Amino acid sequence: MRKAIFLDRDGTIIDNQGDLGDPDRVVLLKGVVQAMARLVDAGWLLVVCTNQAGVARGAFTEDDIAAVHKRIDELVEREVGEKLIQRYYYCCWHPEGDLAEWTGTHDWRKPDSGMLLAAASDFDLDVSSSWMIGDTVLDIKAGIAAGCQTIWLTGQDQVTDEVVPTLYAPSLAEAADFILARSKVG
C-alpha cells in the first residue's frame, strides 16, 4: 500500500480564504511548490481534498473549480517542470446552499472523511501512514475521522481545544520538513 499527503487547497496551497472560481486569481503560497516537490521526491502521493461550497452558493461552477485546479497545476509545472498533485477531490455540497441540487449534507464534505477515503480506495493507500494537512479545524477533523496523522497549519491565535492534531506548523514547508524527518527516523 502507498502513503499519501492529503492537502487542503485554500489557505494551504493557495492564498485564498473564500470562494475562488477564477483561475486568474490563483496565487500559490510561498514555499508550497518546493515543499510538495520534496514530498513527491520522497515517495509521497499528493492528493487535494477541498470543500468548494461556492458551487452551492451559486458563486461559481464545477467547470470553474476545474479551471482553478488546472491553473494550480500550470503554476506548479512552470516552477518544477512536472505535475505534483495526483488528483483533486472536491465537495460542492453545503447545508445552507442557495442551489437546491447542492444544498444538504454529504459524506465528502469536511469534517467528514469521504474525500480522503475515496482517494484511499482509488489509490490503494495506507491511511494510517498518511497525513492530512490543512488550515482549519474541518481539515483536521476529516483527517482524524479517516485515521490519518494530521498537521494543522495555524498561528497560535487559531488554536482550539476542539481538536488536537498530530502537529501544528506555520506553513506547508515546515510540515514537509517534519514529515520527511520523521520518515527517515521511522
Q: Which residues are catalytic?
A: 8, 10
Report whether 178 contacts 36 (CB < 8 A): no
The runs of H, that is alpha helices, within 18-171 are 32-41, 62-80, 114-123, 137-146
Owner of C-alpha cell 460542492: 92
Grid coordinates representing 180 are: 520527511
CA–CA dist 181, 3 (Å, integer): 15
What residue type is assigned to position 95 of the chain? P
User: Which phi and psi (to 5°) does residue 104 adopt?
Assistant: 140, -170
Contacts of 44 (CB under 8 A, 6+ apart): 3, 4, 5, 179
Q: For the chain, where are the alpha helices, taking DSSP H only?
A: 32-41, 62-80, 114-123, 137-146, 172-185
- Identity at 96, one-letter amino acid code: E
